[in-house]
Chain A
Amino acid sequence: MTAGDSTAWKLVSLSPLPGWALGLLVGAVVLGVFLAAVGLRREPSVGRRLLLLALRTVAGAAALFLLIEPGVRTLQVARVKNRMAVLVDRSASMGLPVTPGGGTRSAAVAESLLRMAPGLKALEERFNVELLGFDPALLPVSETVLRTVPAQGVRTDLLGALRALRATDTGGSKKLSGVLLFSDGADNAELQGGVSARARAELLALGFPVSTVQVGDPTLLDVALENLKVDDFAFVRNAVGVEVELRVRGLPGKDVPVVLEREGQVLGTKTVHVTGADETTPVSFTFTPDQTGRFVYTLSAPVFPGEAVTENNTRSFVLKVIRDRVRVLLVVGRPSWDERFLRGLLRQDANVDLVSFYILRTSSDDTQTRNPERELSLIPFPMEEIFDAKLSTFDVVVFQNFGHADQQLSIAQYERKLEQYVANGGALVAIGGDRALGDARTSYPILDRALPVDPVGQTASVAPYRVHLTAEGQRHPVTSVLPTAAASLAAWDELPAGSGVNLVRAKPGATVLLDNPSLLLDGKPAPVLALWEHGRGRAMALMTDDSWTWAFTVHRTGDPTRLYDRFWGNALRWLVRDPDLTTLQVSADPPSVEPGTPVGAVVTAREVDYQPAVGAEVTVELSSVRQHRVVATVRATTGPDGMVRVSFPGQPAGAYRLHATAKSGERVLGEGEDAVAVRTVGPELTDATVRADLLAELARDTGGKAYHLPLQGLPELPLLDPPVVEVGRSKDRPLWDRWEWLLLLATALGLEWVLRRRYGYI
């Protein structure tokens, strides 16, 4: 508790009079001396004047001495043993090597503390020496811990640690006399940008000196990707910008390539030529996502031999790509009522961006013009632009009664592109008519591969018919136009009679949603609406050109169902894989995690009627994109809300995909996918810099001293002296109660009186 007892003394007044009374007496004595001086101002002899004044002063002093009653007080005292803290940075950057391939910064601290042990032992005579780590919370550590337990703090907050330490200073034995701070100075909190005026004021207010010991070599060799800037989400087919700073230290003259990848697919490379020893260069990428969903993107720079940190050469981020509006390309073989009502619907839908091309005239039409260029508003059909250059910018391509044999209107040279467009995730709709599907004037065998139907080789049936909703159609989101299957069935049954259908067969794997029960093909009702998935894309075929009657003719008796609007709305959402139209959804939660942190996912399963699938058996696989293999599988059962949360063990850094499947009994509910990033490096390891300047500034502002490793022993530390306190009883010895002081008073007064009489003042 204390640093050792000792005896001290001091002069005190033993007078019983209160302080104010003593003050009055002192005033009276001073007044008496003053009056004496005034009375002697006409005395011609300087010697007399000084003599009389001296006698009055001596008398006054003697009187005061007797009144104040001075004494000597002896007392037993001791010095309080205050605290001195050795504060060690435990952030993850302290796990970096001091030199390439060498021991960690934490190990260097441990070694230094061993060398300082004698000095610290000596300090313990006056201080309680505490060894604390901060990550950033304060915690006791030891040399063994520093040597054996990796530093894992996710950030370095030097000011926060000192603030927390200051909060433990409650005075007395808890008072801090000083701090010895071991750190690499790689602050990524309040002092990241240096010591601000506000931070400096707070450092000054700490009330104790902070001496710093810089750990690590500031002249390291490192390539780091820092300050990544990218939005959390982007719009499909809209350019996305990514900015990152490439910091290269110790590699002047090198060319450093930075690569942007999406789950293994290289999107771009930028090469930076480094000229300086420590150079930061902004690098930006622009890319255009072509698919909706959540994806892991990775920026990486190569690892050079001898780098201090290799983990900061790579940065991963998750980008959610959403659609702004569904971009529809409508290619129409010729104007018709079917086209007119579809166009009217798509144009008024705020969620649809419609681009359309109509064949208004063929080479056999006679426009009765002498100068068609000037008299007609027609423009050339820009096939190359829309079916080659811009094709990937569309979510859905609709061919409506399109199948011309005319060379100028033939899309034969683009059918492979179109088929690939669908296979790669696009959506295709073929709407029938007298120039389409089985009635087309020409065939597109490659493009036909993408469609869910095959023509039977006969011209269309023009017999009136009534469309029928199949059992599959009653459950499918495209034709489920009303909340219940029965209501949807009734709504479709009530549609006006159609005037004809193209004769096709559904391909194996296709789903027929509407059929014509009055016309049998191969013993089955002829398909009217069929769809399927082709590669990663989707395709739908509508084998009639009288669907406009669902929009218009139906209103002759009123149309409360708005079936046509709902049908096309559903169809577009299904074609573009609107997440709300999938029966199984899996979402990474959160979308990115630190290395070693469990990977979570939420699975939502729904029945085909979109009610929660209770008790569904869910299987979720976590796959490494880089390794192309499943790294973990979890099985779970959904709750009453059709949802279940699953968790995977922590994974190494990298891009991962979640793939979920679900079954309700024997029925498959569907599958869903999502992406999750295990971040390559957190903010702590991004920057391997040793910031000697910050540590020196911090020491200077608090009155401490700045050192750097290696140190052979404990350096000189500015420390506040511990205060002294009484620890025993005091003893007073009067000085005034002696006859000599009374005799002095009487003598001075008497002598003054005698002399005043002689000199004629009395």
Chain B
Amino acid sequence: MVSLLHSMAAPTLPRRALLAALPGLFLARRALAFGDGSRFVPAVAQHAGRWNTRLSGLRRIAWELQRRTSVEVVAEARPLSLNARLFDYPFLYFGGEGDFPPLAQSEVDTLRRYLGYGGFVLADANDGSSGTGFDAAFRREMARVLPASPLQPLPSTHVVFKSFYLLDSAPGRLFTHPQLQAALIGGRAAVLYSQNDLAGAWARDEGGDYSFEVVPGGEAQRELAVRTGINICMYALCLDYKDDAVHLPLILKKRR
């Protein structure tokens, strides 16, 4: 796996180049401005636990989305309470470290309506937990939000693994769970859940350095984590576009 990850490693972007690119991003945004309404803005769910440890990662993945694809973004992470304002942001990041208290019933109801009407949640166990900590708490809350749509493993044939990059696993800062979990509503993955701390692989500190080591694959794994993030954002924006019949023959040929 490691050798594969190395072979997939993309050119790294020097910190100076990144800093130099930031003003350009803002300039470009202004030139293309048509209001922020239709841009991709990662909203971040505020809950009573440690919800805000990966905000820089979300800014980073939005920036990568802008750089690598034709999607226009607002490279911010917008913290939101689980209330009606959610409906201004169809993409919601729900992450955390460790256990968090149960959501209020109104929050559960809002989240259920949000997902039912087309909202998308990317859940991320920043602590890499499994059966404890954030994982246990999130699964507990999801059982309340979508009791009829339990989280289930997402096969590598799902469109999220080909929505932009061709991938076959979803590593993050960790690589303990190769596959994502998903809660499906009418065939649409309304919730995608990673236990590998995706945003941890994306996060940078104020100096521009990556905040966390990526294990076990190092920088190649980080690139795959970014690509996974890009694919997830693309899936949130394009749904099953890459499952259209017109794409399948070429994609299957590439996968051979």
Chain A interface residues (CB < 8 Å from chain B): 333-341, 343-344, 347-348, 355-362, 365-370, 373-379, 382, 433-435, 439, 460, 462, 464, 498-500, 545-546, 548-549, 551-557, 559
**B68 and A365 contacting across the interface, CB-CB below 8 Å:** yes
**B70 and A362 contacting across the interface, CB-CB below 8 Å:** yes
**B223 and A368 contacting across the interface, CB-CB below 8 Å:** yes
Q: Pick the contact of B34: A355, A360, A439, A554 (CB < 8 A).
A: A439
Residue numbers in A under 8 Å from B251 (CB-CB): 377, 379
- Asked whether A433 and B38 contact (CB < 8 A) given A361-B69, A376-B166, A377-B254, the answer is yes
User: How far is the CB of A761 from the nearest CB of chain B, in Å?
Assistant: 121
Docked Cα-Cα span, A338 to B39, in Å, equals: 9
User: How far is the CB of A633 from the nearest CB of chain B, in Å?
Assistant: 50
- Asked whether A335 and B70 contact (CB < 8 A) given A499-B37, A546-B38, the answer is yes
**B38 and A377 contacting across the interface, CB-CB below 8 Å:** no
Inter-chain CB contacts under 8 Å: number:
152
B54 CB-CB contact with A under 8 Å: no
B234 CB-CB contact with A under 8 Å: yes
Residue numbers in B under 8 Å from A365 (CB-CB): 67-70
B212 CB-CB contact with A under 8 Å: no
21 pairs, A vs B, C-beta closer than 8 Å: A334-B71, A335-B70, A335-B238, A340-B90, A341-B118, A344-B118, A347-B240, A358-B241, A361-B68, A374-B254, A377-B163, A377-B165, A377-B254, A499-B36, A545-B38, A551-B117, A552-B90, A553-B87, A556-B85, A556-B86, A557-B84
Residue numbers in A under 8 Å from B88 (CB-CB): 549, 553, 556
Chain B interface residues (CB < 8 Å from chain A): 8, 10-11, 32-40, 67-72, 84-88, 90, 113, 117-119, 162-166, 186, 188, 223, 226, 234, 236-242, 244, 246-247, 250-251, 254
User: How far is the CB of B166 from the nearest CB of chain A, in Å?
Assistant: 5
User: How far is the CB of B137 from the nearest CB of chain A, in Å?
Assistant: 26
Residue numbers in B under 8 Å from A376 (CB-CB): 164-166
10 further A-B pairs in the complex, CB-CB below 8 A; given A335-B237, A556-B84: A334-B71, A340-B239, A344-B239, A361-B68, A365-B67, A375-B8, A434-B72, A462-B35, A546-B37, A556-B88
Docked Cα-Cα span, A358 to B67, in Å, equals: 17
Residue numbers in A under 8 Å from B119 (CB-CB): 552
Residue numbers in B under 8 Å from A360 (CB-CB): 69-70, 164, 234, 238
**A552 and B68 contacting across the interface, CB-CB below 8 Å:** no
Q: Pick the contact of B166: A347, A356, A377, A460 (CB < 8 A).
A: A377
- The residue on B at minimum CB distance from A546 is B37
Residue numbers in B under 8 Å from A379 (CB-CB): 246-247, 250-251
**A552 and B118 contacting across the interface, CB-CB below 8 Å:** yes
**B67 and A366 contacting across the interface, CB-CB below 8 Å:** yes
**A356 and B70 contacting across the interface, CB-CB below 8 Å:** no
Docked Cα-Cα span, A356 to B32, in Å, equals: 24
- The residue on B at minimum CB distance from A545 is B38
Most buried by A among B117, B186, B223, B242: B117
User: How far is the CB of A502 from the nearest CB of chain B, in Å?
Assistant: 8
Docked Cα-Cα span, A378 to B241, in Å, equals: 11
- The residue on A at minimum CB distance from B245 is A355
**B71 and A374 contacting across the interface, CB-CB below 8 Å:** no
Docked Cα-Cα span, A559 to B87, in Å, equals: 12
Docked Cα-Cα span, A435 to B234, in Å, equals: 19
**B10 and A370 contacting across the interface, CB-CB below 8 Å:** yes
Docked Cα-Cα span, A736 to B169, in Å, equals: 129
- The residue on B at minimum CB distance from A439 is B34
- Asked whether A358 and B34 contact (CB < 8 A) given A336-B71, A368-B11, A377-B247, the answer is no
**B242 and A500 contacting across the interface, CB-CB below 8 Å:** no
**B37 and A368 contacting across the interface, CB-CB below 8 Å:** no
Docked Cα-Cα span, A499 to B87, in Å, equals: 15
Residue numbers in B under 8 Å from A498 (CB-CB): 35, 37
Residue numbers in A under 8 Å from B186 (CB-CB): 348
Residue numbers in A under 8 Å from B223 (CB-CB): 368
- The residue on B at minimum CB distance from A374 is B254
- Asked whether A356 and B90 contact (CB < 8 A) given A377-B165, A548-B38, A556-B85, the answer is no
**B34 and A555 contacting across the interface, CB-CB below 8 Å:** no
Residue numbers in A under 8 Å from B84 (CB-CB): 556-557
Docked Cα-Cα span, A439 to B71, in Å, equals: 17
**A343 and B241 contacting across the interface, CB-CB below 8 Å:** yes
Residue numbers in A under 8 Å from B8 (CB-CB): 375
**B35 and A355 contacting across the interface, CB-CB below 8 Å:** no
Docked Cα-Cα span, A557 to B87, in Å, equals: 9
Docked Cα-Cα span, A358 to B237, in Å, equals: 11
Docked Cα-Cα span, A378 to B246, in Å, equals: 11
**A500 and B34 contacting across the interface, CB-CB below 8 Å:** yes
- Asked whether A549 and B37 contact (CB < 8 A) given A340-B237, A377-B162, the answer is yes
Residue numbers in A under 8 Å from B117 (CB-CB): 551-552, 555, 559
- The residue on B at minimum CB distance from A385 is B246
Docked Cα-Cα span, A710 to B237, in Å, equals: 87
Docked Cα-Cα span, A605 to B34, in Å, equals: 44
**A335 and B234 contacting across the interface, CB-CB below 8 Å:** yes
**B87 and A336 contacting across the interface, CB-CB below 8 Å:** no
Q: Pick the contact of A338: B38, B166, B240 (CB < 8 A).
A: B38
CB-CB nearest 9 A-B residue pairs: A499-B35, A499-B37, A556-B87, A434-B34, A334-B70, A500-B35, A335-B237, A556-B84, A368-B10
Residue numbers in A under 8 Å from B35 (CB-CB): 462, 464, 498-500, 546
